[in-house]
Chains A and B, each alone.
Chain A
């Protein structure tokens, strides 16, 4: 575990305040039932820390947040945070999260998982929940490798990468999730790096506050299986979009920046639009009456009568 991250874990929230009469949480209170079993130094610690900090900063309470993950090292995250959680099947987190968000749109839904989980096996759900603009925040711990299965290529592994499943180097092109998400209909598209904690906290807070589908692809290095895309690799290359004068409401600029790779790799907010309603805002059934899950069940006698009348 890097020292920077430990600092954040230990730091408690400065601007203590209240929301809805709740006393504001501290990062300590967001500690899950068990400690992470990630390898020491794994980038995922940084994502966990940043997420906790964002929740604290936003003044949310544990019961107001639902984390949903698939399967992978990164997908173990819900177990390590004191919030409602669903640790679902490999690749299925977005589908489950969509159902839960629509059933109770008061929840702040945060989906967490790996690049394999989200862009590989879960790719179809990824595409379709972006175009639906489901109101959730998707944190992809992108380590360009399959960690939990001990090191095979992932959809974001660069061409030529040698792994257990590509011992002579991969011949396939990688997915670039950023332009994919911008084109796919996500309304908040960002990239973070676990080596830049404050910046990452800001991106996550922005994603949670954003009404609609927010993708934050996070360079979260796997220290055990990916020695190409290490902490040092990214540290030397990442450049903040904010410092490059990027305007995240400019679609073409966002697309251009999204394709930058090599000696300078941009991180930050690529793209954001606020003119599109989220799916739950478009759904007539949710227009009034509060969360679907809390509503009384059954069919009124008048409705039943008209249904039967239609059949005669």
Chain B
């Protein structure tokens, strides 16, 4: 992290309006060109319970949500009671003293009470305290009032002048009160003059789909994947994307397969439970050789599990989904801009190889939000549709008979879409011959079965050389190599910085993105130079560790695992590495201390 590293925590009950102050602060930070990560720890209820939003901003890219809070805004007593004990010297707590009493704070924690009743006796309603707190906070980090005024003006534009004036007035009162009564932090948030974008991973996945040319998107609502559906639905008409909410996930994937076979780029998203229902159909896409993309945003399982908590527990599910061996491509993007880039990459691959593609995200990545340089959002991506015939409604004349499943060296057979004159054929989920004629019951033929099965599976050999090779991050010579996959990249990177700065331990890092096919040789050649390998993953059983071992023979020296529903914080990894390097343990499971 850079010179400025500020984390704000806002907590309260669902329905208390936490999102709004969070959004206002986030907008202000990214409009100043500051980097930002936000993570909302919430419960699967619409009102009540406890929600805790952490916003971490800085002058350098923010890798994770960190592990400390500099400014706490408790919107109710419950939040005060849960979080005050975690506040350290130099930190600030801003709260409405009409309703909330402080407990005993550590030395050096600045308690900043304000009374809405005294400050604005004429104002009613809970949301006033939120606005006052945000305004006071901005005063304490040296942000000029004008910026807040501008944001509030935009936010309440639709409600009219008087509502704008009222909110700006409330904010002014909070801002001035903080100036008169509280001690500001020793730094001011700079303004770099550059603006950044700010959005969640689900939006990145949806936008990646739009860029890739998705024309058909369907889903059944399920947290934490619904964000993709919501973005798609909101932009459907503007972008010419058909968006459907289907009766169940079995219907979702089958409908997507139908649309994909007819020639659309089709995508769907769900979480683990919905994905389980899609298993058989994913195999059918592979059998009929239809390209389709399915996103699984993992949440803590099994079964309904913990709907609003994160986990990386579905690796084996997606690798094993459906009966039989079949070609599939599985990828786990490692950060939010990577979500955006991965979708078009995967579509090009599945179109070329005519098989299903699965994106493995998780709640942390999909519902976590991050600042992103808008230059990274290039919608002008390359679109390669592979060997496909009839996409504009016409087609070249057929030479001899058309065989949908022609056995070729690459395993790829040119695919004609229905509606194309001259290429009439049947695709089947039963085993079939080159022409699509069933060989399952009429005259089961082991030679034909072998030839066509090998043709299908052979396609995977072509995928591997097209994938970007995995790269080792950090010093070539290190005491320990941390290995992760998917969403844990940021926390591991920050842990490596901390290990070097605070513990004098030199570590490097390999984050695996392409899971199937696995770039086993490349990984092996990187890891064969490592002194100690520690695998970090957000599940109980070490799903990736076991997979890596089965594919490469690499048995890690240590494991850091977490399955309490919350994501890794960098210091969890630091603590684990210290213990493993010291030989105290081979497996470390951190305790998540911010009790939300």
Is B417's CB within 8 Å of the partner chain A?
yes
Asked if B254 and A78 make an inter-chain contact with CB atoms under 8 angstroms apart, the answer reads no
How near does chain A come to B233, taking the closest CB pair, in angstroms?
11
Is A289's CB within 8 Å of the partner chain B?
yes
Asked if B418 and A100 make an inter-chain contact with CB atoms under 8 angstroms apart, the answer reads yes
Asked if B418 and A66 make an inter-chain contact with CB atoms under 8 angstroms apart, the answer reads yes
Asked if A99 and B392 make an inter-chain contact with CB atoms under 8 angstroms apart, the answer reads no
- Residues of B with C-beta under 8 A to A98: 255, 258
Q: Given A84-B419, A87-B429, A285-B240 in contact, is the A292-B379 Cβ separation under 8 Å?
A: no
Is A61's CB within 8 Å of the partner chain B?
yes
Asked if B246 and A95 make an inter-chain contact with CB atoms under 8 angstroms apart, the answer reads yes
- Residues of B with C-beta under 8 A to A289: 240
Closest to B382 in A: A298
Closest to B211 in A: A299
How near does chain B come to A107, taking the closest CB pair, in angstroms?
6
Asked if B264 and A292 make an inter-chain contact with CB atoms under 8 angstroms apart, the answer reads yes
Additional pairs, 19, CB under 8 Å, beyond known A37-B441, A71-B430, A312-B31: A63-B421, A66-B418, A66-B419, A71-B429, A78-B428, A92-B250, A92-B251, A99-B257, A100-B258, A103-B260, A125-B254, A283-B242, A285-B237, A285-B241, A291-B393, A292-B264, A298-B211, A298-B379, A304-B377
Interface residues of B (CB under 8 A from A): 30-31, 195-199, 203, 207, 210-213, 215-216, 218, 235-242, 244, 246-248, 250-251, 254-266, 280-281, 284, 288, 372, 374, 377, 379-381, 383, 391-393, 417-430, 435-438, 441-442
Asked if B207 and A307 make an inter-chain contact with CB atoms under 8 angstroms apart, the answer reads yes
Is A19's CB within 8 Å of the partner chain B?
no
Asked if B215 and A292 make an inter-chain contact with CB atoms under 8 angstroms apart, the answer reads yes
Q: C-beta contact mask, A35-46 vs B, less than 8 Å → 1, else 0?
A: 001000000000
- Cα of A66 to Cα of B195 in the assembled complex, Å: 51
- Residues of A with C-beta under 8 A to B263: 103-104, 291, 293-294
How near does chain A come to B512, taking the closest CB pair, in angstroms?
28
- Residues of B with C-beta under 8 A to A101: 258
Closest to A305 in B: B379
Q: Given A61-B421, A64-B419, A102-B259 in contact, is the A297-B31 Cβ separation under 8 Å?
A: no
22 of the cross-chain contacts (CB-CB < 8 Å) are A33-B436, A63-B418, A63-B419, A82-B424, A83-B424, A84-B424, A86-B418, A87-B429, A95-B246, A99-B216, A99-B258, A99-B260, A100-B261, A100-B262, A101-B258, A104-B419, A107-B262, A124-B248, A124-B250, A286-B242, A293-B264, A299-B239
- Cα of A128 to Cα of B247 in the assembled complex, Å: 7
8 closest pairs, A vs B, by CB? A297-B213, A99-B258, A293-B263, A85-B426, A103-B262, A95-B254, A304-B379, A84-B418
Asked if A104 and B262 make an inter-chain contact with CB atoms under 8 angstroms apart, the answer reads yes
- Cα of A293 to Cα of B424 in the assembled complex, Å: 17
- Cα of A125 to Cα of B280 in the assembled complex, Å: 16
Closest to A307 in B: B207
- Residues of A with C-beta under 8 A to B417: 104, 293
Q: Given A71-B429, A293-B417 in contact, is the A103-B251 Cβ separation under 8 Å?
A: no
Closest to B385 in A: A297
How near does chain A come to B363, taking the closest CB pair, in angstroms?
20
Is A196's CB within 8 Å of the partner chain B?
no
Is A26's CB within 8 Å of the partner chain B?
no
Asked if A99 and B259 make an inter-chain contact with CB atoms under 8 angstroms apart, the answer reads yes
Is A194's CB within 8 Å of the partner chain B?
no
Point out the residue from B244, B379, B424 that lies within 8 Å of A299, measured CB to CB.
Answer: B379
Asked if B255 and A293 make an inter-chain contact with CB atoms under 8 angstroms apart, the answer reads no
- Cα of A100 to Cα of B370 in the assembled complex, Å: 37
- Cα of A283 to Cα of B424 in the assembled complex, Å: 28
- Cα of A66 to Cα of B391 in the assembled complex, Å: 16
Is A171's CB within 8 Å of the partner chain B?
no
Q: C-beta contact mask, A63-92 vs B, less than 8 Å → 1, else 0?
A: 110111001000010110011111111001
- Cα of A63 to Cα of B419 in the assembled complex, Å: 5
How near does chain A come to B468, taking the closest CB pair, in angstroms?
22
Point out the residue from A89, A99, A283, A297 that lies within 8 Å of B255, measured CB to CB.
Answer: A99
- Residues of A with C-beta under 8 A to B207: 307
Q: Given A102-B216, A103-B216 in contact, is the A89-B429 Cβ separation under 8 Å?
A: yes
- Cα of A84 to Cα of B281 in the assembled complex, Å: 20
Q: Given A297-B215, A304-B380 in contact, is the A96-B258 Cβ separation under 8 Å?
A: yes
- Cα of A85 to Cα of B238 in the assembled complex, Å: 33
Asked if A311 and B251 make an inter-chain contact with CB atoms under 8 angstroms apart, the answer reads no
Asked if A299 and B284 make an inter-chain contact with CB atoms under 8 angstroms apart, the answer reads no
- Cα of A63 to Cα of B288 in the assembled complex, Å: 18
Q: Given A63-B418, A124-B248, A292-B242 in contact, is the A298-B259 Cβ separation under 8 Å?
A: no
Closest to B237 in A: A284
- Residues of B with C-beta under 8 A to A285: 236-237, 240-242
- Residues of A with C-beta under 8 A to B262: 66, 99-100, 103-104, 107, 291, 293
- Residues of B with C-beta under 8 A to A301: 379-380
Closest to B290 in A: A86
Is A244's CB within 8 Å of the partner chain B?
no
Asked if A298 and B247 make an inter-chain contact with CB atoms under 8 angstroms apart, the answer reads no
- Residues of A with C-beta under 8 A to B441: 37
How near does chain B come to A180, taking the closest CB pair, in angstroms?
15
- Residues of A with C-beta under 8 A to B391: 293-294
Is A224's CB within 8 Å of the partner chain B?
no
How near does chain A come to B388, taking the closest CB pair, in angstroms?
10
- Residues of B with C-beta under 8 A to A290: 393
Asked if A62 and B424 make an inter-chain contact with CB atoms under 8 angstroms apart, the answer reads yes
Q: C-beta contact mask, A122-160 vs B, less than 8 Å → 1, else 0?
A: 001101100000000000000000000000000000000
Point out the residue from A33, A124, A286 that lies within 8 Å of B247, measured CB to CB.
Answer: A124
How near does chain A come to B195, taking the closest CB pair, in angstroms?
5
- Cα of A312 to Cα of B29 in the assembled complex, Å: 10
Is A236's CB within 8 Å of the partner chain B?
no
Interface centre among A61, A63, A83 (most CB of B within 10 A): A63
Asked if B254 and A89 make an inter-chain contact with CB atoms under 8 angstroms apart, the answer reads yes
How near does chain B come to A118, taking the closest CB pair, in angstroms?
14
- Residues of B with C-beta under 8 A to A308: 197, 374, 377
Point out the residue from A82, A87, A299, A311 that lies within 8 Å of B427, measured CB to CB.
Answer: A87
Interface centre among A83, A284, A304 (most CB of B within 10 A): A304
- Residues of B with C-beta under 8 A to A214: none
How near does chain A come to B286, taking the closest CB pair, in angstroms?
12
Interface centre among B262, B266, B374 (most CB of A within 10 A): B262
Asked if A79 and B418 make an inter-chain contact with CB atoms under 8 angstroms apart, the answer reads no
Is A260's CB within 8 Å of the partner chain B?
no
Asked if A103 and B264 make an inter-chain contact with CB atoms under 8 angstroms apart, the answer reads yes
How near does chain A come to B442, taking the closest CB pair, in angstroms?
5
Asked if B215 and A311 make an inter-chain contact with CB atoms under 8 angstroms apart, the answer reads no
- Cα of A22 to Cα of B253 in the assembled complex, Å: 36
